[in-house]
Amino acid sequence: MRAVVQRVSDASVTVDGRAVGAIEGGLLVYVGAGKEDGPEDAAWLAGKVANLRVFEDDSGLMNRSALDSGGAALAVSQFTLFADARKGRRPSYSDAAGPEVAKPLFEAFVAALKETGLRVETGEFGASMRVAYVNEGPVTILLDSKKVF
């Protein structure tokens, strides 16, 4: 599984004009599942996100996690994280898991993230979502459970 993690002062998701998830301070996490991913990838990714030290301590150093700082997470499913744009101009999504695999993995990620004690909000799987956020820092981290990068 892959994630783009952003430290935010606030973030929200709307679908068809209705709010479905919002946080004030924490992490906006875009999550994508690949065809080769399983529950162990969801668990690894959740642990990594919850404990990622991207929040400043009293000395101004990024030594605190969302758990340490009392932040929350807004998880948004995003299959385009598995886009391959190396050839041509139209990205291929052939490495992305189909919805029948991706949805349970996304739900497993969210459940594992909640088990860490982090407050978690979500977007709506498969919906056309509007995401608004303020990236603090900016801090943006790329994660991959297969450690491709």
Going residue by residue through the chain, which has 149 residues, state the pLDDT in tens, using 9 for 90 and above.
999 999 999 999 999 999 999 999 999 999 999 999 999 999 999 999 999 999 999 999 999 999 999 999 999 999 999 999 999 999 999 999 999 999 999 999 999 999 999 999 999 999 999 999 999 999 999 999 999 98
Q: Would 148 be classed as within a structural domain? A: no
Residue pointed to by tokens 């919002």: 22
117 close to 65: Cβ distance less than 8 angstroms: no
Which of these is catalytic: 79, 82, 106, 109? 79
Element (H, E) at 51: helix 39-51
Give catalytic status of residue 122 as yes or no: no
pTM greater than the 0.75 cutoff: yes
Strand partners, 121: 74
Nearest-5° angle of CA 55, CA 104, CA 24? Answer: 30
Question: What is the total count of domains within the chain?
Answer: 1
Give catalytic status of residue 80 as yes or no: yes
Type of residue numbered 80: T
Q: Would 149 be classed as within a structural domain? A: no
For 115, residues 6+ apart whose C-beta sits below 8 A from its C-beta are 46
84 close to 96: Cβ distance less than 8 angstroms: no
Give catalytic status of residue 6 as yes or no: no
**CATH number, domain containing residue 97:** 3.50.80.10
Domain interval for residue 126 = 2-143
Which of these is catalytic: 6, 55, 78, 109? 78
